[in-house]
Chains A and B, each alone.
Chain A
C-alpha cells in the first residue's frame, strides 16, 4: 500500500508482530492488528504496562523489527527511506550511545550522518549541550555519565537534525525532577513549533501534562484511544479556585451550592511534589556549584541561539515552520478527533499572546485536577525565559503583525482565544 500523501505522521495498518521461539514457532504475540494513527503537530502518548507492545511497535516503525503482518508508515513513507529517516528523531528506551565518545563527539557523529555542514553542527551542538544542561561536560566521555545525563545526551542527539517527528521512548527515565520538567517544557515547545511527537512513557503524570491524545495498549492491542482531556474529564463535577476567604464567605458558598442541589468540598490546595522539589533546587542552584548536569536553557536555548553568520541563517531555517499536510482523509478521524488542523497561514495574534502568558503546563486543566490536590496556577519555571520566547516569537511576525503558529490549538485554547 502506498501511504504517500497521508495526513498522518504515523500510520499503521493491521500491524502485527509475533516473536518466534528457537525453533521458529510463533510464541509471543507482541502486537496484534494495530491501527495506530498519529496526526501531524500533535503529542501522542503511547501508554501501556510492560510487555504491552509499545516498544515493539516503535521498533517496527523504525524498521528495527520486521512486522509479521501489516504495514507501518512514517511521515508518509517507510523509515528505511533516508529522506524520511532524515526527518525523524528517535530516543530509545535506554541511551544506546558510544561510551568511548565524548558528548560533543557523539552529537558530531550523528550530525555528520545527517549531512549537516560543519558550521551548523558546531552551533547546534553548542546550543543542544546548553539546552540539555551539559554545556560544561561536553568533553567528558559518555561512559562516565550518569543515567540521567545519558538521557539528556540521548535527547540532544534526537534533536540534532531538527526532526519533524520525534519518537521518544521513556524520555524522562532516570532523570531528576528538574530534568523531567525541562523535558516536558521542551516537548510542549517543540509541539508548538509544529513537531509531531510520539511519546512512550510509564510516567502517566508526564504524559497527562503534555499529550494531546493518548492510546493505551495491553496485550499487543489498543485498548482505548482519544484526547487526554476527553478521557480524563469529570463531566458532572466543577472545581473553583479562589484566594483566601473568611469562614463566613466559605459557609455562604457552601450554602449556595447546596441550595442548587449539588455538593461542595472546600480544601486548601497543596503543591505537587515535583513543583516543590523544583523550587528548592532552583534556589540552591543560585548559590551552590555542582559537578553534575546543570539546568539547561530549555528549548529556547536551542531555538533562539544567535550564532554568527552564516550559521545563523541555518538556525533560522531550523526554527522555520515546515508545511504539514492538514487535509482530512479518513472519515473516522472526523468522528473521533474533534481538534482540527489550523492552516499555518492563519495565525491569531491574540491566541499567541495568550499562549505565551499562560503557564506552560497547559494540559493540566481545572477539570483534570478534580480528583487530586489542587495546584496553584502560577508555578515558577526555571527553564522558561519569557524574554527569549518573546524575542523568538517577535522575530517571526506575519504580514499582519501576527506571529506564526504551527501547533494546532486544543479546544480549551480555542475557547480562551475566542
Chain B
C-alpha cells in the first residue's frame, strides 16, 4: 500500500502542475461567489437558494467529473508515452500498486477539491438568508422547504385494481366481438396504459383520493405535512388555472362512519396553474398513529370544466436537518467521482488518452441520462427491441446511473432527504461492484502487458 500512496502523490503532483486542475480551481473560485450573488431564481429567498444550490452543485459536479476523467485517463497514458513508467516498473513495485496508485491519486485529488468546494457552497448557501434582507415569511418558508431534509412518500398505486379493470375490459370486448386483430400482449399493454392514466385523472365533479402509508412526521406540534403535486388539464382552462378543493386526513374515519374523529381532517382551497409543481402544508397531526393519511381532491363543477390529470402526487415530512443531508449529497457526488477515476485509470491501461477520455465522457454523459434512455427505449418495436435487448441494454445496465435518484441537486433543491440506505445501495452497486470490476480488469491488463512493446 505504501507504494500505491507514493504513486498517488506523484499523480496528484502531476495533475496540479499540468495546470488543468489549477484552471478548474480558479474557475470555481470565481464562479461560485458570482453565482451566489447573481442568481435570484423567482425573486424569493427560496427561489434564490434553490437556483444557487442547483447550479453550483451541478457546476462543481460537472467540472470535477471532467477533471477526474482528464487526470485518470492522462496520468498512466502519459507515463507510458514518455516511458517514465520504464523506470518505475523496474523498481520494487508490483504493477497493481501502480494502477491502484493512479486511481487513488485521481480520486483523492478530486475528492479533496469536492470537499473544499462543497464547504464553499455550504457556507454561501447558509449565509444567503442573512445577507438577502428577505421578509420573515420568506425566511420561514426557506427554513421549512429548503433548510430541511424531508422524506417523500408516494401514494400506493393499486396495480391489482388496474389489472382487474384491464381483464374486465378485455372480457367485455370479447363478448361484444370488438377485440382488435392485434397480439393479445399489445392489447393488454394499451389497455393498461389507458387505465393507468384513468387512475390519475379526476373528471369534473369527481373526487380522487390518494392513500399514503408509513407517514410518521415528528411529534412536534409545529411540524407540518407537505402535499406536493403537479397536474395538467384537458381541455385547457382559459386562464391556465384549476380550482381545487382539498382534504387531508385519515379518511378511514369517514369510510367506517365514526361519529368522532380521532385525528383532524384539514381542508384547503386553491386555484393554481397547470404544469407547475405546487406545495401546500397542513399540520402534521392529520396523520393517523399508524402512519396512514389520505389526500382528497374534488374537481369542483362550479369553477372547473376540465378533467384534471395528476402527473405527480406525494406527501413530504421532515426527518432531518440540512447539514447532514448536504453531507450525504456530497457523498453521492463523491461516489460518481470515484467511479469515474476507476474508469479512466482502467481504460488508460490499454487505450490511448484520447480514446480513453472519449469513452469515459461517453459513459459519463450516458450515465447522466441513463434512466431516461432505459425508460424511453423499453417501448421499441419487436425487431429493434431484440437488437436493443442484446446490445445497448446491457451496456446501459453495466454503467452507473447519475440521473433521477442519483442526481445530487434534486435533493437539495426540493429539501428531500437522501437516506443512508440509498447511499449504501449506491456505494454497493457503483463502487463495490462496478468500480471494483473495472479496477480488476485494468490491473489484469496492466500486469500482463509489455511495457516497452513495439509493433514493427
Question: Do A and B assemble together?
Answer: yes
Question: What residues of chain A have their CB less than 8 Å away from a CB belonging to chain B?
Answer: 19-22, 27-28, 59, 62-66, 79, 82-83, 85-86, 88, 90, 92, 94, 96-101, 105, 109-110, 112-115, 157
B182 within 8 A of partner (CB): no
Please give the distance in Å from A165's CB to the nearest CB on chain B: 11
Kindly list 5 other residue pairs between chains A and B, CB separation below 8 angstroms, not including A62-B90, A113-B92: A19-B454, A21-B455, A86-B91, A88-B90, A100-B13
> Which residues on B sit within 8 Å (CB–CB) of A99?
82
The answer on a CB contact under 8 Å between A19 and B6 is no
| Given A100-B13, A100-B14, A100-B18, A110 and B456 contact (CB-CB distance below 8 Å) | no
The answer on a CB contact under 8 Å between A64 and B6 is no
CA distance A63 to B91 in the complex (A): 11
> Which residues on A sit within 8 Å (CB–CB) of B6?
109, 112-113
CA distance A21 to B456 in the complex (A): 5
The answer on a CB contact under 8 Å between B456 and A64 is no
| Given A64-B450, A96-B84, A85 and B455 contact (CB-CB distance below 8 Å) | no
The answer on a CB contact under 8 Å between B87 and A157 is yes
B164 within 8 A of partner (CB): no
The answer on a CB contact under 8 Å between A65 and B452 is yes
CA distance A332 to B166 in the complex (A): 93
B208 within 8 A of partner (CB): no
Q: Which 3 A-B pairs have the closest CB atoms?
A: A82-B92, A86-B92, A64-B452
Which one, B83, B93, B455, contacts A94 given CB within 8 A? B83
Name which residue of chain B comes closest to A115, CB basis.
Answer: B2
B1-32 interface (Cβ within 8 A of A): 2-3, 6, 10, 13-14, 17-18
B453 within 8 A of partner (CB): yes
Can you spell out 25 A-B residue pairs with CB atoms less than 8 angstroms apart?
Answer: A19-B456, A22-B455, A28-B456, A62-B90, A63-B89, A63-B451, A64-B86, A64-B90, A64-B452, A65-B452, A65-B453, A66-B450, A82-B93, A83-B92, A85-B90, A90-B90, A92-B86, A92-B87, A98-B10, A99-B82, A100-B14, A101-B13, A113-B88, A113-B92, A114-B91
CA distance A63 to B84 in the complex (A): 15
The answer on a CB contact under 8 Å between A79 and B84 is no
Name which residue of chain B comes closest to A97, CB basis.
Answer: B84
B441 within 8 A of partner (CB): no
Please give the distance in Å from A167's CB to the nearest CB on chain B: 8
The answer on a CB contact under 8 Å between B452 and A59 is yes
Please give the distance in Å from A259's CB to the nearest CB on chain B: 61
> Which residues on B sit within 8 Å (CB–CB) of A92?
83, 86-87
The answer on a CB contact under 8 Å between A110 and B84 is no
The answer on a CB contact under 8 Å between B87 and A90 is yes
> Which residues on B sit within 8 Å (CB–CB) of A101?
10, 13
| Given A64-B450, A83-B92, A20 and B455 contact (CB-CB distance below 8 Å) | yes
> Which residues on B sit within 8 Å (CB–CB) of A90?
87, 90
Question: What residues of chain B have their CB less than 8 Å away from a CB belonging to chain A?
Answer: 2-3, 6, 10, 13-14, 17-18, 82-94, 450-456
Give the number of A-B contacts (CB < 8 Å).
Answer: 81
CA distance A109 to B6 in the complex (A): 7
CA distance A401 to B94 in the complex (A): 44
| Given A90-B87, A98-B84, A85 and B452 contact (CB-CB distance below 8 Å) | no
Name which residue of chain A comes closest to B91, CB basis.
Answer: A113
Name which residue of chain B comes closest to A99, CB basis.
Answer: B82
The answer on a CB contact under 8 Å between B90 and A79 is yes
Please give the distance in Å from B455's CB to the nearest CB on chain A: 6
Which one, A85, A97, A105, contacts B91 given CB within 8 A? A85
> Which residues on A sit within 8 Å (CB–CB) of B450?
64-66
The answer on a CB contact under 8 Å between B456 and A20 is yes
The answer on a CB contact under 8 Å between B94 and A82 is yes
Which one, B3, B18, B82, B94, contacts A96 given CB within 8 A? B82
CA distance A62 to B450 in the complex (A): 11
Name which residue of chain A comes closest to B7, CB basis.
Answer: A113
The answer on a CB contact under 8 Å between B84 and A19 is no
> Which residues on A sit within 8 Å (CB–CB) of B2?
112, 115
Please give the distance in Å from A90's CB to the nearest CB on chain B: 5
> Which residues on A sit within 8 Å (CB–CB) of B14?
98, 100
CA distance A79 to B95 in the complex (A): 13
CA distance A57 to B293 in the complex (A): 79
Please give the distance in Å from B444's CB to the nearest CB on chain A: 15
Name which residue of chain A comes closest to B5, CB basis.
Answer: A112
> Which residues on A sit within 8 Å (CB–CB) of B94?
82
The answer on a CB contact under 8 Å between A110 and B91 is yes
| Given A20-B456, A113-B3, A113-B6, A97 and B87 contact (CB-CB distance below 8 Å) | yes
